[in-house]
A and B are shown apart, each in its own frame.
Chain A
Amino acid sequence: MSIDMAQFHQVFFEESFEGLDIMESGLLNLSPGEPDSEAINSIFRAAHSIKGGSGTFGFTEISDFTHVMETLMDEMRDGRRQITQTAVNLLLGSVDCLREMLFAVKEGKAIDAERVAEHKHALDLEQKNSGSSLQDESLPAHELLSGPAHQSASKVIGWHIAFSPHADLLKTGNDPVRMFRELSVLGELEVTADFRGVPDFYQIDPEECHLSWNLILKGDIGRGPIDEAFAWVEDDCDLAIQPLYQAEDLSLSASANRQQQPATESIVQAVISKPVDSSTAVIKEKAPGDEAKNKGSTSIRVDTSKIDTLINMVGELVITQSMLSLIGEHFDMSKQDQLKNGLAQLERHTRELQESVMNIRMMPINSVFSRFSRLVHDLSNKLGKKIDLKLIGEHTEVDKTVVELISDPLVHLVRNSLDHGIEMPDERIAVGKPETGTVSLEAYHRGGNIVIEVSDDGKGLDKDKLRAKAIEKGLLEEDAILTDKQTFELIFMPGFSTAEQLTDISGRGVGMDVVRRNIQALGGNIEIISELGKGSTISIHLPLTLAILDGQSIAVGDETYIVPLGSIIESLHIKEERINRVADKGETFLLRSEYLPIIRMHEIFKVPNVKTTKLSEGLLVVVEGQGVRCGLFVDDLLGQQQVVIKSLEANYRRIEGVSGATILGDGSVALILDIPGLVRLANQ
């Protein structure tokens, strides 16, 4: 058969990694000594699925390994084994090992056999420790798979089978005719029915089986296949299988039988002579083969209700479309109102359709959050700290790309909190805090953004220390005046680290600026609030989706630019008396006792044909990016609209001050401004 099993690998890997996550979080929640049967069950189920799948798809190393884990967990499930911390840690380690194996197989690399053997050995040891005798269950899979032994039948020329089903055999869905058909494939089969057990007509229960059979199966056939044919009904019948040695005996009894029951035989033979398997060719045709194999890991799991909504939306759209084309067919001015209504409806439906399509890309942030239980568990052990992890709002939905890209920055932030934030237990007690520190991860929606916060109740950031450090590193002038916010911002500067002792946990202090860059690459920003002795909170603001942006179009000369709506604070006419000019350094605008640097858009982007270069004749769009405010000097405001973001990097190259491009309704291209980049550009 040529079904290409590789086409199922993608799904298998996805669900196996999911299964590993389930196992991991289940194991972390398992408290030693207190077996929670549902928890163990779900862990077991996950392992079991991985084993079944890996065996089926030909990853024997994985299925063998999972088998050992499963056996251990099976004992825990049945209460035959105590749940100890050692065992849990061992299983957690094995989950890691299994994950590596799956990765290796997925990437087509070799499995690290040494590491696997090590873990397997540890599991074996643990299993023997309990003293439970599960010898036969721990046999490698292939030994049990070989099925009943195929005995040699050199002298045997056939078999006599006496088969008397119990009355309720049919109630398991088994059917003697089918079994006979299976036997008939093995060799020449003669069937004789025995009617003696059939009761009087009025007492017959049609749901029960009253017949018995004598079967003669001729041919060079082993016992194995015959046992196999009856394997499902062993306990539902009386069965005697005896070898036949002499040809004379066989033909005698066969001919005798034939004379006795010619009718039965012909019926059964008619049934059994049907070809059993003619499906091979069909499947060959239909196997999509390599196409499926080459698809990348870009699939997404979507709730069916979301798909239903989408289909519903499309239905509405089709109705609107047909309504509009009806109006268009015989259009005159009297139908103008109808047309307007139709167009309004079309707009509404398009927007709803867009929303529901975007919704498909949304997935709960839980998939990122859940891995932190393990991280915190492992790290707090390593650091000798006591730490509780609180997850809040883990069902908040985020764009799939955000989910994939936010993970690494978050890991970095959580590690920082654990390592530098939370104090050692004795330090905490000394300052009157509970011994156990708390780190919380929270996600929620605010406006068109998703906010993710990492907070801890640790020692917080020391402003004086930050300042001193920055000056020492030459990142800050000694007489610089900084607000609290600006002081905290220092930790995002490249080459800044506050830990006196670098540890292997939060690395070498190159992290925070990288974290910020990653967040910015996602179109978001990051802020930190901290109070000495009380803890820190780092908030990440990200756009809900990376594909669509609410923007304000602005005109500069003949060009149109898009400013992300979220970064606009206000737009105003410029009054000459509020402008301050600093020689060679540019201009500022006084807005409610704050001096805003003015960025002249036409100068930055070298746009010709501007309406005016006189500040008082244009407009100032006040924008904010990463805590810095500035005013953009533009010709005009055009309108607000949702724009589809096209990557500039993918099609051209990265340009400072521009985060992407979009195509406007009239077909022209507009650049989308990156406010922080623009500020940097203006400062150069």
Chain B
Amino acid sequence: MASILAVDDSASMRQMVSFTLKGAGYDVVEAVDGSDALNKAKARKFDCVVTDVNMPNKDGITLIRDLRALPNYKFVPMLLLTTESGMDKKQQGKEAGATGWIVKPFNPDQLLKTISKVLG
């Protein structure tokens, strides 16, 4: 099954995302912030990255920019978890190379639907 890197500094959101995705059979690894995620992404290749935007130690947008610069992550789908007030964040995210976004608040159904959209 596809592997997913779930990045969020909020433990509850991270657990929710991770639990939902694991329940659907994905192989999920959690990271607590951007730099943690970058290290984990370098250590192995993930099929998809789902990241929060606002985080200490490297925000989600910088993370995506850094990941896109890695040869392994050129075409890997990367999704931003963003709030509705972050319209400009979506734009910044796109420019950094994000595949798309999931708007917070979302429920497990919406998350799985979006993930299956990029992973099949």
Chain A residues near B56 (CB-CB < 8 A): 42, 45
Measured in the bound complex, the distance between the Cα atoms of B118 and A276 in whole Å is 11
Chain A residues near B15 (CB-CB < 8 A): 8, 11
The answer, yes or no, to whether B39 is at the interface (CB within 8 Å) is no
* Contact (Cβ within 8 A) A172 B94: yes
Contact pattern, B 101-113, Cβ under 8 Å of A = 1, otherwise 0: 1011111110011
How many B residues have CB within 8 A of the partner chain? 46
How many A residues have CB within 8 A of the partner chain? 53
Measured in the bound complex, the distance between the Cα atoms of B78 and A407 in whole Å is 44
Query: With contacts defined as CB atoms under 8 Å apart, how many contacts are there between chain A and chain B in the complex?
Result: 134
* Contact (Cβ within 8 A) B84 A144: yes
The answer, yes or no, to whether A322 is at the interface (CB within 8 Å) is no
Min Cβ gap A442→B in Å is 28
Q: A53-B10, A279-B23 are in contact. Are A48 and B116 (CB under 8 A)?
A: no
Chain A residues near B76 (CB-CB < 8 A): 173
Min Cβ gap A305→B in Å is 14
Q: A173-B76, A207-B74, A276-B116 are in contact. Are A71 and B85 (CB under 8 A)?
A: yes
Main secondary structure of the interface of B (DSSP, over half): mixed
* Contact (Cβ within 8 A) B23 A15: no
Nearest residue, chain A, Cβ from B76: A173
* Contact (Cβ within 8 A) B118 A173: yes
The answer, yes or no, to whether A602 is at the interface (CB within 8 Å) is no
* Contact (Cβ within 8 A) A3 B23: yes
The answer, yes or no, to whether A518 is at the interface (CB within 8 Å) is no
* Contact (Cβ within 8 A) A282 B112: no
* Contact (Cβ within 8 A) A173 B99: yes
* Contact (Cβ within 8 A) B117 A178: yes
* Contact (Cβ within 8 A) B85 A52: no
The answer, yes or no, to whether A532 is at the interface (CB within 8 Å) is no
Contact pattern, A 421-455, Cβ under 8 Å of B = 1, otherwise 0: 00000000000000000000000000000000000
The answer, yes or no, to whether B34 is at the interface (CB within 8 Å) is no
Docked complex: B63-105 residues within 8 A CB-CB of A: 68, 74-78, 81, 83-85, 94, 97-101, 103-105
Measured in the bound complex, the distance between the Cα atoms of B99 and A236 in whole Å is 11
Q: A3-B20, A8-B15, A56-B16 are in contact. Are A232 and B101 (CB under 8 A)?
A: yes
Given contacts A15-B10, A55-B104, 11 further A-B contacts (CB under 8 A): A3-B20, A8-B19, A44-B54, A48-B83, A63-B105, A137-B85, A141-B84, A173-B78, A175-B77, A207-B74, A283-B23
Binding site for A on B (CB under 8 A): 9-13, 15-16, 19-20, 22-25, 52, 54-56, 68, 74-78, 81, 83-85, 94, 97-101, 103-109, 112-113, 116-118, 120
10 A-B pairs closest in CB distance: A55-B105, A232-B100, A173-B99, A12-B12, A283-B23, A279-B24, A173-B77, A56-B105, A11-B12, A144-B84
